Amino acid sequence: MRFSRLLIATTVALSLASPLSAKTLRWASVGDALTLDPHAQNEGPTAAMNQHIYDPLIQRDPSLKKIPNLALSWKPISPNVWEFKLRPNVKFSDGTPFTADDVVFSITRVLSPTSDFKTYLASVKEAKAIDPLTVHMITDGPNPILPDQLTNIFIMSKAWAEKHNVTKPQSYKDKEETFAVRNAMGTGPFMVKQRDPDIKTVLVKNPTYWGKDEFKDYPDELVYTPIKEPATRVAALISGQLDFVLDVQLQDVARVKQTPGLKTLESAQIRAIFFGLDVGSPELKYSDVKGKNPFADKRVREAMYKAIDINAIKTKVMRNFASPAGIITSQGVNGWTKELGARPPYDIAGAKKLMAEAGYPNGFKVTLDCPNDRYNNDEAICQAVVGMLSQIGIQIDLQARSKTLHFPKLQKKDSSFFLLGWGVPTLDSHYVFSFMYQTNDGKKNGSWNFTGYSDPKLDGMIEKMAQETDIEKRDGLIADAWKVARETNAYLPLHDQVIVWSMSDKVDMPIFATDSPYFRYAKMK
Amino acid sequence: MLSFLVSRLLQAAAVMTAVSFLCFVLFNFVGDPINNMVGQEATQSERAELRHQLGLDDPVPIQFVRFLGNAAIGNFGKSYRMARPVEQLIVERLPATLELVFCGALLALLLGIPLGVLTALRRDTWDTRAVMTFSLAGVAMPTFVSGILLIYVFSVECTGWVAWLGLPTGLCLPSFGRGDTVKIGWWSSGLFTGTGLKALILPSATLALFQMTLVLRLVRSEMLEVLRTDYIKFARARGLTNRAVHFHHALKNTLLPVITVIGLQIGGLIAFSIITETVFQWPGMGQLFIQSVQFADIPVMAAYLVMISFFFVTINLIVDLTYAVIDPRLRVDRARAVGNAH
């Protein structure tokens, strides 16, 4: 009996393992989505999986412009109210119609305590369904960037969530996993066929997808396998076992380009890499200078900035996969300009002079904290800078750690000098200012400002920026704020990372600077 | 016998408690999971709230006692990374690791023993020298290097040389994953599908390489030793055939220590499989553990380490008991001494 069951199982498995059809796209990257619950984990790989199943109201196109998705149009109808007109005739993949109720439900779910996206919608007091295709969102003050924030918020089916008891995002306190962790019900181009976390995820075309006339030729099936080891990932691509790899290591890109049948796409990523300096403490915690803080002196910061040979880092450390930056945000973010992006020239003599003027002709000792598993070649960047700064007498004790140790250390404000990177999901400078420059009040504002930098004037500009609905005036505020911020050198900008997507010649798709692939845009030959 | 068993069981329990306490102390150095669990936008108060919810702000001894209490009733908590119960995760991953270890051990024995015998019998021939040189490489080469090397030859560059030899490219092997699996109850097996078996070849060869050379060298040296003994000379003097002398008398007496060592190495194989699993993206427990370390997923790490120490303790116990059962000359105290020597 047991044997016959085994035999049947084997036959079934063998028959299922029929040759893959031409329209299957097999892809890989380093880590799997943590959950399919669209509001539980605000994390890159999780969004990269969920965006194929769930739709937001407003989406980014390949040039990162906002385009309609589930909302056809949006406008503020009074200072505190945004109106959204929804797309008609949209169905979830179980065939139930999509209405304003689902939007209200999803927004409410995002605002609940266990959601990891609630800070995006911190300004939203409530969402109201006016009619089946109209939603009003009431904010606690004017919020000009609500549409940008909504590009990160996915819409779920209310009926499905209620049926499966997942009206709140998963919580770590629960003993069991919720139904939404491995199951999903969205309006997106794909739906879940198989989900084995960390092992394999198969998505198939959603037959009820509203965009099937617009996106005609996208693959019938997406097979995702997380592959942790970079060498294995690239080997699988070269040997033809994968069609697309999101994150080939920079040193392997040349090998991929040489291989017939493979190609790469490159784009500057929306993520700037930079150093942060403790400018606020009266005395540096990790330095041999006692009684005063050398980083509090503007001249020292400028000297360090000038002593960093960014071209050497770009060509030697980054193998040209970086674009030097002059501010701590990237091209593509509202507020970035060419002038802001320019750096002062590399100038050791000038730097030495500044150090002498500041009273440190012989330099000083300081500890640099650096992650070694977070950004492209992060530890190598730090090693290069150790050599560069020693030329102006600054002796660095480099402490490279895993991100699980590096970030908690920063959050405890236990670092004098650190490497950090910052991506901008809203693509607006306010996101950079409010997290990186605003005075860290220990609550909401400046929560990633570990420099101790605090300027009431700049704080005021940031507050205004958040409320100003007149686009022109607001852009003016952003430009002024960047001028102030850039002058301070509380951060020493390095570069924007360049992302490289590697794929088979059979795949035709645009690259997204967000480093998140939208396979609805993919075509397979 | 009964008192021996009870004392061994008590020792085992003490070892496991000690191991789990050491793990808990170590976890303080692995890092803080909170940053991995929330998005970059989360405020400091939200982070503090989550830390408090998970009890991560309690002193280590309190966290440890809470862990022991829950573990005693089989509750290892919920993975911070995957939001699923830890027991469930481990049960899902166990079959992949055990099948890999089984195939690796089988391969090591099936190749290691005959090669060991052969090299002992044919001393100072060129083929023995070749095998011994190769075995040196097998002992010396780290697992991740041999794994990547195998991937390079049999997966990446394979289509080239296979076509050159005029063979079908279907002979090339997958470089990652487990292929298709079949569910037998809760056990997911890759032993019954074509892709599953194909996917097993490279990882089990990688895992077997070190063990095989170990077995080979052990069998060879034991065999050489035995061949010098008086009873072998006596057997030859009796006019027995080479075959009977070598395989009936010599090999049989060689295998006893080999079996002992292999038993103890099984635990080592499970530990070694962490690297093999990482190289081949083999969805087993080792990989689960590595990913948990990077995320500081404390519940999974704790459960995994407790389970591995359980395996080791159990295997040791079985070996000790077998000694006592097989060899009546060994008294209880003697058996204990042998057990402690490991």
**pLDDT confidence of residue B66:** 87
User: Running DSSP on this structure, what letter comes out for residue A108?
Assistant: H
**pLDDT confidence of residue B26:** 80
Torsion of CA A461, A464, A465, A470, to 10 degrees: -130
Chain B, residues 102-161, CB within 8 A of chain A, namely 148, 151-152, 155-156, 158-159
What pLDDT digit, counting tens, does each position of A284-311 carry? 999 999 999 999 999 999 999 999 999 9
Contacts of A423 in chain B (CB under 8 A): 40
Contacts of A14 in chain B (CB under 8 A): 193-194
ipTM of the complex: 0.83
Which of A106-110, B173-177, B240-244 is predicted least confidently?
B240-244
What pLDDT digit, counting tens, does each position of B145-171 carry? 999 999 999 998 888 888 788 888 778
Mean pLDDT of A190-194: 96
What pLDDT digit, counting tens, does each position of B293-303 carry? 888 898 899 88
* Nearest CB to A175 within list B78, B151, B152: B78
Residue of A nearest to B40 (CA): A42
Contacts of A10 in chain B (CB under 8 A): 182, 192-193
What pLDDT digit, counting tens, does each position of B176-209 carry? 999 888 988 889 899 999 999 999 999 999 999 9
Contact A307, A481 (CB under 8 A): no
Residue B339 pLDDT exceeds 70: no
Residue with the bigger pLDDT between B333 and A196: it is: A196
Neighbours of A116 (CB within 10 A): 25
Residue of B nearest to A410 (CA): B35
Residue A266 pLDDT exceeds 80: yes
Residue A447 pLDDT exceeds 90: no
**pLDDT confidence of residue B326:** 63
| CA–CA min distance B159, chain A (Å) | 8
Chain B, residues 205-244, CB within 8 A of chain A, namely none
Residue with the bigger pLDDT between A388 and A22: it is: A388
Residue B265 pLDDT exceeds 90: no
Contacts of A240 in chain B (CB under 8 A): 159
Residue of B nearest to A31 (CA): B291
Residue B5 pLDDT exceeds 90: no
Residue of A nearest to B187 (CA): A6
**pLDDT confidence of residue B245:** 85
Contact A480, A486 (CB under 8 A): no
**pLDDT confidence of residue A99:** 96
Contacts of B194 in chain A (CB under 8 A): 14, 17
Contacts of A407 in chain B (CB under 8 A): 32, 35
What pLDDT digit, counting tens, does each position of A129-153 carry? 999 999 999 999 999 999 999 999 9
- State the pLDDT confidence band at A347, using cuts at 50, 70 and 90: very high
Residue of A nearest to B169 (CA): A239
Would the CB atoms of B83 and A170 count as touching at under 8 Å?
Answer: yes
- State the pLDDT confidence band at B330, using cuts at 50, 70 and 90: low
User: Tokens 């992650």 belong to which residue?
Assistant: A371
Would the CB atoms of A407 and B35 count as touching at under 8 Å?
Answer: yes
Mean pLDDT of B21-34: 81
| CA–CA min distance B14, chain A (Å) | 28
The model carries a pTM of 0.86
**pLDDT confidence of residue A85:** 97
Residue with the bigger pLDDT between A435 and B32: it is: A435
Mean pLDDT of B304-315: 85
- State the pLDDT confidence band at B329, using cuts at 50, 70 and 90: low
Between chain A and chain B, how many beta carbons pairs sit less than 8 Å apart?
Answer: 172
Q: How far apart are CA B227 and CA B246, in angstroms?
A: 8
Mean pLDDT of A67-80: 95
Would the CB atoms of B44 and A373 count as touching at under 8 Å?
Answer: no
| CA–CA min distance B20, chain A (Å) | 21
**pLDDT confidence of residue B282:** 94
Mean pLDDT of A430-456: 90
- State the pLDDT confidence band at B1, using cuts at 50, 70 and 90: low
Any long-range contacts for A309-317 (C-beta under 8 Å, 24+ apart)? Answer: A309/A346, A309/A388, A310/A343, A310/A346, A310/A494, A310/A495, A311/A346, A312/A384, A312/A388, A313/A381, A313/A384, A313/A385, A313/A494, A313/A495, A314/A495, A316/A384, A317/A377, A317/A380, A317/A381, A317/A384
Which of A278-282, A368-372, A481-485, B143-147 is predicted least confidently?
B143-147
Mean pLDDT of A37-52: 92
Contacts of A245 in chain B (CB under 8 A): none
| CA–CA min distance A403, chain B (Å) | 8
Residue B132 pLDDT exceeds 60: yes
SS3 A308: coil
| CA–CA min distance A10, chain B (Å) | 6
What pLDDT digit, counting tens, does each position of B271-309 carry? 778 999 999 999 999 999 998 988 889 889 988 888 888
**pLDDT confidence of residue A70:** 97
Contacts of A116 in chain B (CB under 8 A): 38-39, 42
Residue A175 pLDDT exceeds 70: no
Residue of A nearest to B36 (CA): A404
Mean pLDDT of chain B: 85
**pLDDT confidence of residue B52:** 87
Residue B124 pLDDT exceeds 90: no
Q: How far apart are CA B222 and CA B226, in angstroms?
A: 6
What is the 3 state secondary structure string of A352-413?
Answer: HHHHHHCCCCCCCEEEEEEECCCCCCHHHHHHHHHHHHHCCCCEEEEEEECHHHHHHHHHCC
Mean pLDDT of A426-442: 92
Would the CB atoms of B85 and A177 count as touching at under 8 Å?
Answer: yes
Would the CB atoms of B30 and A404 count as touching at under 8 Å?
Answer: yes
Residue to substitute from A12, A27, A404, interface B, most B β-carbons within 10 A = A404
| CA–CA min distance A436, chain B (Å) | 11
Mean pLDDT of B236-265: 81
Chain B, residues 236-295, CB within 8 A of chain A, namely 278-281, 283, 287-288, 290-291, 294-295
**pLDDT confidence of residue A48:** 92
Work out the percent of chain B whose per-residue pLDDT is above 70. Answer: 94
Q: How far apart are CA B276 and CA B294, in angstroms?
A: 17
What pLDDT digit, counting tens, does each position of A205-231 carry? 999 999 988 898 899 999 999 998 999
Q: How far apart are CA A106 and CA A191, in angstroms?
A: 18
Mean pLDDT of A7-16: 43
Neighbours of A44 (CB within 10 A): 18
* Nearest CB to B156 within list A239, A405, A411: A239
